[in-house]
């Protein structure tokens, strides 16, 4: 028991979220440098990670340069085991990111100093706020000209609805960038412009009036710094860990991921304050990590990771107890016992078979088609973890078979891609035609590409005018429902789990339908976990 507690306390599982190009990948790589073998070899080797198979399981991801897959990167730092769950920043893969956010205990939000708060950051932070996930903010690219630090802090507060506490402030910016005053550690890190990737000397002092500051950065910059610090103290609240943990207050750090500047400070503060694995709500009760019995849930399914083997990998976040290799676990939805002989654990540059995993960890389980996203595994207790929703897609198209000889392959491919959560499938009640719903148009290309390359099947799409998918909650025996079904039969479909869905062609239709059929409830969100 003591061991389990110790293991739990060691772990920090988090995600990095940002708008594409803000520097998420670069920051991830730099964080890995602090934890891995690269530390000894020197920070400049970062490209090796980038070009390796670390964060891109799929060929398509390499081709497009977008992080399509959500992968797991683990490393050790200062006695902690840190699990980074990689999240695609591209908006077309937002749903993948939302699901991953159900498996993190905290997040780091990366913002580009020049671009400020961008659209995708807003959306993702909103989801984190809804879930009260503790957040740290990293303002990146200080080596470039950008917005004034305080204007940017205002923007973060206003657009993201956060209550910020700067724990570092930049000294200058772009060509005048001199370094960072670290309020958390009370020192100044000097930036060596001519020696990229290298951090300059650390200026330590007891008091902000210390003359060593003037010597290090010049009198004018030192005076500005003192004024700004006064401003920070008078305008922003003091840091309070409890408030951070509740999601009420968000510490902010400045730096340059590319130059590995301000990253160690961020990481050090992160290991000091970020939460260890947290309890998670299930339908019947709250499950605590330190409970003896294993529980976990599937937040991601990835098919055909290795093109040579037709297998799927289900990513399971461990919520409580110890997950053990070759032990029988209950897949609650199916009431089925399953045993896993080669569960994978993830590291920065490899995955490995492990005998034991602990709360906060992610294990990859080879799957032959048993799992769905949102599934719960336990040692026997019948409970289901909540909160893996499926949102109404934004785009809809009919999918047609373009090669009659490959109908089986197509059906299998569609089935597996939907299990992974790449898109949603709706089958029209009326005629059995299949409609694919996605968050972004790009997924249609991904699906087409993967069907062809992984399943040898070809498809074409056909446009259809649908505004939203509404999950229908109704007493299917009531006369009101029968009338609704009669009137709307052309727009009724079943999702992959046979839930009834009304495919509405406009918001006006939705409004009229709700007025006419008050006892039929239309939802824009479904919970995969619900059986
Ligand atoms: P993302 O994962 O959030 O999409 O962003 P990524 O890390 O790929 O960074 C996007 C671009 O911003 C990259 O340049 C990267 O080198 C650059 N970048 C990241 N951090 C900093 C920083 O602190 N300062 C500056 N000046 N640039 C930074 P790229 O030209 O698009 O790619 P690459 O050819 O450098 O890989």
- Which residues are within 8 A (CB) of 498 and not within 5 positions of it... i.e. 6 or more apart? none
In a 10 Å sphere around its CB, with 0-12 CB exposed, 13-18 middle and 19+ buried, how is residue 415 labelled? middle
Number of other CB atoms surrounding residue 9 within 10 Å:
15
DSSP state of 282: B
Mean pLDDT over the full length of the chain: 85
- Least confident range from 113-117, 243-247, 416-420, 474-478: namely 416-420
- Which residues are within 8 A (CB) of 502 and not within 5 positions of it... i.e. 6 or more apart? 469, 470, 471, 472, 488, 491, 492, 513, 522
Instruction: Answer whether 14's CB lies under 8 Å from 83's CB.
Output: yes
Nearest-CA residue for ligand 1 atom 31 is 21
Most confident among 4-18, 23-37, 186-200, 448-462 (mean pLDDT): 4-18
Query: Residue 184's Cα: distance from chain center in Å?
Result: 27
- Which range marks the domain in which residue 471 is found? 395-523
**What token pair was written down for 329?**
């676990």
Residues 310 and 341 occupy one common structural domain: yes
Q: What is the mean pLDDT of residues 202-222?
A: 82
Please tell me the total number of residues recorded for the chain in this structure.
531
- Least confident range from 299-303, 414-418, 463-467: namely 299-303
Tell me, what's the pLDDT at 358?
96
CATH code of 306's domain = 3.40.50.300
Cα separation, 273 vs 279, in Å, equals 17
413 domain-assigned: yes
Residues 311 and 345 occupy one common structural domain: yes
2 domain-assigned: no
The residue among 289, 296, 332, 293 whose CA lies nearest residue 314 is 296
Q: What's the pLDDT band for 429 if we cut at 50, 70, 90?
A: very high
65 domain-assigned: yes
Q: What is the mean pLDDT of residues 324-335?
A: 95
245 domain-assigned: yes
**What token pair was written down for 449?**
């590409």
How distant, in Å, are the alpha carbons of 20, 48, 117 from that of 147?
A: 18, 32, 11
Residues 417 and 359 occupy one common structural domain: no
Q: What is the mean pLDDT of residues 416-423?
A: 82
From 273, 305, 339, give the residue that closes a domain.
273
143 CA → ligand 1 middle, Å:
12
Give the residue, out of 16, 26, 31, 71, with the most ligand 1 atoms within 8 A of its beta carbon, to mutate for a pocket test: 26
Q: Report the predicted TM-score, pTM, of the whole model to 2 decimal places.
A: 0.83
Cα separation, 212 vs 216, in Å, equals 6
Query: Residue 340's Cα: distance from chain center in Å?
Result: 26
Report whether pLDDT(198) > 60: no
How distant, in Å, are the alpha carbons of 98, 391, 416, 440, 453 from that of 528?
A: 13, 10, 15, 20, 28
Domain count, the chain: 3
User: pLDDT: is 246 or 94 the higher one?
Assistant: 246
Report whether pLDDT(528) > 60: no
Report whether pLDDT(68) > 50: no
Residues 261 and 288 occupy one common structural domain: no
- Least confident range from 108-112, 370-374, 464-468: namely 370-374
Residues 187 and 248 occupy one common structural domain: yes
111 CA → ligand 1 middle, Å:
12
Residues 176 and 127 occupy one common structural domain: yes
- Least confident range from 157-171, 187-201, 344-358, 449-463: namely 187-201
Tell me, what's the pLDDT at 334?
92
DSSP run (H or E) holding 60: helix 59-64
From 222, 239, 273, give the residue that closes a domain.
273
Q: What's the pLDDT band for 214 if we cut at 50, 70, 90?
A: confident
Percentage with pLDDT > 90 across the chain: 55
Helices (H), 258-379: 263-273
Nearest-CA residue for ligand 1 atom 32 is 21
Q: Which atom of ligand 1 is nearest to the CA of 29?
A: 7
Nearest-CA residue for ligand 1 atom 17 is 23
Q: What is the mean pLDDT of residues 210-226?
A: 87
Report whether pLDDT(301) > 70: yes
Per residue in 16-49, pLDDT tens? Answer: 999 988 998 889 888 888 776 344 333 323 332 3
Instruction: Answer whether 113's CB lies under 8 Å from 139's CB.
Output: yes
The residue among 41, 92, 84, 66 whose CA lies nearest residue 443 is 92
274 CA → ligand 1 middle, Å:
25
From 255, 273, 291, give the residue that closes a domain.
273
> Phi/psi at 59 (nearest 5 deg)?
-60, -40
141 CA → ligand 1 middle, Å:
8
301 domain-assigned: yes
83 domain-assigned: no
Cα separation, 116 vs 281, in Å, equals 35
Residue 369, Ramachandran bin (φ over 0: left; ψ between -120 and 50: alpha; else beta): left
Report whether pLDDT(151) > 70: yes
User: pLDDT: is 184 or 290 the higher one?
Assistant: 290
Report whether pLDDT(58) > 70: no
Residues 157 and 247 occupy one common structural domain: yes
Nearest-CA residue for ligand 1 atom 10 is 21
97 domain-assigned: no
Axis crossing angle, helix 407-419 with helix 442-455, rounded to the nearest 10:
130
CA angle 413/419/424 to nearest 5° reads 90
CATH code of 419's domain = 3.30.70.3280
- Least confident range from 65-79, 200-214, 368-382: namely 65-79
Tell me, what's the pLDDT at 183?
87
Residues 359 and 487 occupy one common structural domain: no
Q: What's the pLDDT band for 130 if we cut at 50, 70, 90?
A: confident
- Which residues are within 8 A (CB) of 224 and not within 5 positions of it... i.e. 6 or more apart? 171
Residues 51 and 26 occupy one common structural domain: yes
Specify the residue for token string 């148009």. 441
23 CA → ligand 1 middle, Å:
5
Instruction: Answer whether 244's CB lies under 8 Å from 184's CB.
Output: no
Residues 247 and 178 occupy one common structural domain: yes
Tell me, what's the pLDDT at 463?
95
Q: What's the pLDDT band for 215 if we cut at 50, 70, 90?
A: confident
Specify the residue for token string 């860990």. 241
Residues 130 and 268 occupy one common structural domain: yes
51 domain-assigned: yes
Pocket of ligand 1 (CB under 6 A): 18, 20-26, 89, 140-141, 143-144, 256-259
Instruction: Answer whether 395's CB lies under 8 Å from 437's CB.
Output: yes
Nearest-CA residue for ligand 1 atom 11 is 21
Tell me, what's the pLDDT at 304?
59
Instruction: Answer whether 57's CB lies under 8 Å from 305's CB.
Output: yes
Residues 416 and 504 occupy one common structural domain: yes
């Amino acid at each position: 028991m003591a061991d389990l507690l110790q293991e739990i306390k060691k772990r920090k599982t988090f995600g990095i979220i940002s708008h594409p190009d803000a520097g998420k990948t670069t920051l991830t790589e730099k964080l890995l440098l602090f934890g891995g073998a690269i530390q000894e070899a020197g920070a400049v080797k970062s490209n090796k990670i980038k070009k390796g198979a670390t964060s891109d399981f799929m060929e398509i991801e390499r081709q497009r340069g977008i992080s399509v897959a959500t992968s797991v990167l683990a490393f050790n730092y200062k006695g902690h085991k840190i699990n980074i769950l990689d999240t695609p920043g591209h908006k077309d893969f937002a749903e993948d990111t939302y699901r991953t956010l159900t498996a993190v205990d905290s997040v780091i939000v990366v913002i580009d100093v020049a671009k400020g708060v961008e659209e995708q950051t807003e959306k993702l932070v909103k989801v984190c706020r809804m879930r009260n996930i503790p957040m740290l903010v990293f303002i990146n690219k200080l080596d470039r000209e950008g917005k004034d630090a305080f204007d940017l802090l205002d923007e973060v507060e206003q657009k993201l609805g956060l209550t910020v506490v700067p724990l570092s402030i930049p000294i200058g910016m772009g060509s005048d960038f001199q370094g960072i005053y670290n309020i958390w550690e009370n020192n100044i890190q000097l930036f060596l412009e001519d020696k990229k990737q290298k951090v300059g000397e650390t200026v330590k002092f007891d008091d902000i009036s210390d003359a060593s500051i003037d010597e290090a950065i010049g009198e004018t910059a030192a005076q500005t710094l003192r004024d700004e610090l006064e401003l920070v103290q008078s305008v922003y609240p003091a840091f309070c860990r409890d408030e951070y943990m509740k999601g009420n207050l968000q510490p902010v750090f400045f730096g340059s991921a590319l130059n590995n500047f301000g990253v160690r400070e961020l990481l050090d503060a992160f290991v000091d304050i970020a939460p260890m694995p947290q309890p998670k709500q299930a339908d019947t009760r709250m499950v605590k990590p330190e409970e003896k019995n294993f529980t976990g849930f599937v937040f991601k399914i990835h098919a055909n990771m290795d093109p040579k083997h037709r297998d799927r990998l289900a990513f399971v976040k461990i919520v409580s107890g110890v997950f053990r290799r070759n032990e029988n676990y209950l897949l609650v939805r199916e009431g089925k016992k399953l045993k896993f002989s080669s569960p994978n654990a993830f590291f920065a540059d490899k995955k490995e078979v492990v005998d034991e995993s602990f709360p906060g960890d992610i294990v990859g389980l080879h799957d032959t088609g048993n799992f769905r996203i949102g599934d719960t595994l336990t040692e026997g207790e019948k409970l289901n973890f909540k909160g893996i929703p499926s949102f109404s897609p934004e785009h809809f198209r009919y999918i047609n078979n373009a090669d009659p000889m490959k109908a089986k392959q197509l059906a299998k491919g569609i089935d597996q891609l939907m299990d992974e959560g790449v898109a949603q499938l709706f089958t029209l009640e009326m005629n059995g035609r299949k409609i694919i719903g996605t968050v972004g148009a790009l997924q249609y290309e991904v699906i087409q590409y993967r069907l062809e390359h992984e399943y040898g099947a070809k498809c074409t799409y056909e446009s259809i005018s649908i505004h939203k998918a509404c999950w229908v909650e109704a007493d299917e025996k009531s006369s009101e429902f029968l009338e609704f079904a009669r009137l709307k039969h052309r727009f009724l479909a079943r999702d992959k789990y046979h839930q009834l869905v009304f495919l509405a062609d406009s918001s006006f239709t939705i409004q009229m339908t709700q007025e006419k059929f008050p006892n039929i409830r239309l939802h824009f969100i479904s919970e995969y976990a619900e059986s």
